[in-house]
Structure 1
Amino acid sequence: MTTANITKVLLSLHGFHSSPASLKAQQMRDYLLLEHPEIHFVCPQLPVYPEDMWSVIESVFKQYDKCKIAVMGSSLGGFLATKVAQQYAVKVVLINPAVTPNILLDFYQGEQIHPYLQQPYIINSDYIEQLKALHVEKINYPENIWVLLQQQDEVLDYRDALKKYKQCKITCENGGDHSFIGFERYVAEIIHFLY
């Protein structure tokens, strides 16, 4: 399929130290192939540094600039998708989004090896500053955002997202975990919301 034939794109942004092979991305890809083949699914492997992650996102918007683009993002991908929603005024779905990853990842300072890229890199003050540069203080298009939360998220405090996205559509479930158990229950509704 050439870019010229594509009218709708779903950009999926995975979380920290994750990959396009994540279960949620696979579930959405499979659903679209079966039910909505007209929607082109794009799930890039994000690089290790936040400013490079943003460059990849910008390149997708440039490549598909004639298309209707929507975004789903999980965890750190949800943080990035929030920035996308403000910059491009597109619809996004956030799954257990990281609200302040600069604070969370401050605890990970030092040398890292990305588990999928097998690439060594360093989380230091420069990395944290790159994250801060992508932070959205005020949500300007709350009607474009749907947030899916599970209260037993063992990585992030769901209450931070409840506060940040209070003007947006929110689904908050008891139980669950950071991966958002049972995500496949929402794929059809997500597509309906996004398009």
Structure 2
Amino acid sequence: MKNIISEQSLIIGQSLGGFWAEIFGIKYGVKTILINPSIEPNISLKKYDLSSENLENYLKFKENKSLSEKFSIILSSRDEVVDKKPVLEKYNGKTKFIYIDENHQIENLEPIFEEIKKIMN
């Protein structure tokens, strides 16, 4: 990935993709947007009957480094899948939050497009 990442790069991840976007955004220091991120997949994925070994594998990737000003987090006010509380606790005071009136499966993408425009400038 180092060969294709540049200052112009933007990583966007939603839900479990937000978990991975955080890891790669920090690793490569690029602009990143997390949308309803699942930051504790070892906990949130238990309801899908994954083995404890599979769930524990996510702990290997847990990122303890700090976010930068290059990160934005978009949270849906009616998200029925991802618990916002761990996200708010982890990132409070560290990055910008944008709240949208959506559920987990976002239908109106305009606020996301607006945030992409802002973060790319």
TM-score band, normalised by shorter chain: 0.7 to 0.9
- Which residue matches 1:154? 80
Q: CA deviation at 1:71?
A: 0.2
Provide the C-alpha distance between the structure 2 equivalents of 1:170 and 1:188, rounded to a whole number of angstroms. 14
For the residue of structure 1 that corresponds to 2:9, the secondary structure is strand
5+ unaligned residues in a row in structure 1: which ranges? 1-60, 110-122
Provide the C-alpha distance between the structure 1 equivalents of 2:120 and 2:56, rounded to a whole number of angstroms. 31
For the residue of structure 2 that corresponds to 1:182, the secondary structure is coil
1:126 to 2:44 alignment: no
- RMSD across aligned positions (CA): 2.0
- Using the aligned pairs only, state the percent identity: 31
Q: Summarize the alignment of residues 137-148 of structure 1 with structure 2, pairs less than 5 Å apart.
A: 137-138=64-65, 140-148=66-74
Letter in 2 for 1:102: N
Q: CA deviation at 1:104?
A: 1.2
Q: Summarize the alignment of residues 161-180 of structure 1 with structure 2, pairs less than 5 Å apart.
A: 161-166=87-92, 167-173=94-100, 175-180=101-106
- Which residue matches 1:81? 21
Q: TM-score, normalised by structure 2?
A: 0.84
For the residue of structure 1 that corresponds to 2:27, the secondary structure is helix
| Distance of aligned partners of 1:155 and 1:98 in 2 relative to their CA distance in 1, 3 Å threshold | same
5+ unaligned residues in a row in structure 2: which ranges? none
For residues 127-182 of structure 1, the C-alpha deviation after alignment (integer angstroms, 9 at most, x for no partner) is 212211111234x2331110000121010122221222211011123x41002342
Q: Summarize the alignment of residues 25-36 of structure 1 with structure 2, pairs less than 5 Å apart.
A: none
Q: CA deviation at 1:125?
A: 2.6
